[in-house]
Chain A
Amino acid sequence: MSETPLDYADLFETAPCGYVLADKDGRITRANATFAQWVGSAPEELQGKRFANLLPIAVRIFYESHVAPMLHIQGSVSEIALDILHTNGNKLPMLVNGTALRDDRGQVASLRFAVFTASQRRNYEQTLLHSRNEAQASVLSERAESELREQFIAVLGHDLRNPLASIASGTRMLLKEQLSERGSMILRLIDGSVVRAVGLIDNVLDFARGRLGGGITLTRDDREPLEPVLRQVIAELQTIGPNHQIEAAFSITEAIDCDRVRMGQLLSNLLGNALTHGAKDQPVRVMAEAAGGQLIIAVANGGEPIPATALERLFQPFFRGDGHSRHEGLGLGLHIASEIARAHGGTLTVASDPRETCFTFTMPLARTAQA
């Protein structure tokens, strides 16, 4: 096949882009027909005009202070967004590539610009920018709101605990006074209510903090024994169910590296559940044992078994069972307990049959001191 020689002149004039040639000062020496048509001029009228003069003033400042220097330093520019003025005064959004050609001495001798219309692209960019700015603003305001929320919850927890501590102190002092049987019983019930309320606040605060990204934080050490902490929890929770028998069996002979407050909270949540949902006429059994490199804490109660479907979702937040039990609670206790287990590198599991329901916490005991 013989080749038809290319008509370079035509290729230049009717290119699908604007093509502008200029001298080293940016004065247009030649503009192709496409460009001339876009700006509403005849090609001859453009000759001699400064390329920069085709730009609105604001854009000219940008051109002179940034684009022109870049051409001189780098020798080329690409994808520069410029508005170019149509002779009727309208601004045409364009994308411009430019090259600077040098002479033998290395000085810039002439400039070439390829120009593309870009109004659709510019609109698209504007929309994107706008959406992005809106998204950024909403993230900022959400963050501010959630900080406020967290502070509010912290203050609330703090403020709620103080009067509760007062009530508990008062009831305990009253219990030492000379009282009737009935009087003592009433005080013990009040105490039980306070214990439940404090447990609720602890769980809610933990949950709120966890959701806001804090997670369950631990302060671990092995400087004090764990058993007294667990025994105290049992003593406190007994007030919730004064007639419900709690059997405790402890076998912890070594120092346990853990967060004792959290351990207490874990036991409190498990024991509270057992007392609330377990059969009242069957004892609740608490077992704590350190053996074979593990710490095991287990709480078992009698009564109706937990259905298999519920077992799967037991540790999720806000899971409240199927409405059979009167005492639903917030549904946070088990979730928090499992988070505490996880934070200690351990697990919390459940087994439930008609004979008993048993929650078991297992944690590996660290052999070496923590870094």
Chain B
Amino acid sequence: MADQEIKATVLVVEDETLVRLYGMDILEDAGFRVLDAGNADEAIAVLQSHDEVALLFSDIDMPGSMNGLELAHLVHDRWPNIRLLLTSGHRQPTQDQIPDDGRFMRKPWGEQALMAKIREILA
């Protein structure tokens, strides 16, 4: 990976620890800087203290005050520049349920497919 290029920052939000680590792993291998959170509240705290996040990559079903879809809506309202990619193993939201022109990726992720998708969104 070219270390000279400005690395974009992605926030990975997922409550299942190993799955979160794996997602972070894939993204770091693809050259991104990665921040992480275990639920929506933690994610909001991260976003409040880091203004360089370019993409929110979040699971939908999470414990806590809100799920990934609701988090996406909130992020879209408060930080409209942040792109959105949601993921789930159970649900398949329709396009109009995801704010902005946020995208969706079904679990389980193929590594290549996930990296390609994120590069596409941030291009």
Contact = CB atoms under 8 A, between A and B. Distances in A.
A and B touch in the complex (CB under 8 A): yes
Contacts of B44: none
Main secondary structure of the interface of A (DSSP, over half): helix
B50 interface: no
Contact of A165 (B19, B25, B106): B19
B20 to A, nearest CB: 8
Contact of B113 (A219, A228, A261): A228
Which of A158, A167, A173, A261 has the most chain B CB atoms closer than 10 A to its own CB? A173
Report the contact-size class of chain A (Cβ under 8 Å from the partner). Answer: 10 to 19
A353 to B, nearest CB: 35
A165 B21 contact: no
Interface string A147-183: 0000000000010011001111110110010000000
Nearest to B106: A261
Given A173-B21, A261-B106, A161 B90 contact: yes
Nearest to B117: A224
A232 B110 contact: yes
A165 B110 contact: no
Nearest to B94: A219
B89 interface: yes
A158 B61 CA distance: 10
Interface string B15-31: 01111011101000100
B106 A166 contact: no
A235 interface: yes
B86 to A, nearest CB: 15
Contacts, number: 44
B90 A158 contact: yes
B113 A165 contact: no
Interface string A173-197: 1001000000000000000000000
A170 B22 contact: yes
A12 B90 CA distance: 79
B90 A232 contact: no
B106 A167 contact: no
A170 B25 CA distance: 11
B95 to A, nearest CB: 9
A261 B92 contact: yes
12 contacts: A158-B61, A158-B90, A169-B18, A169-B22, A170-B21, A170-B22, A176-B29, A198-B108, A228-B110, A232-B110, A235-B110, A236-B108
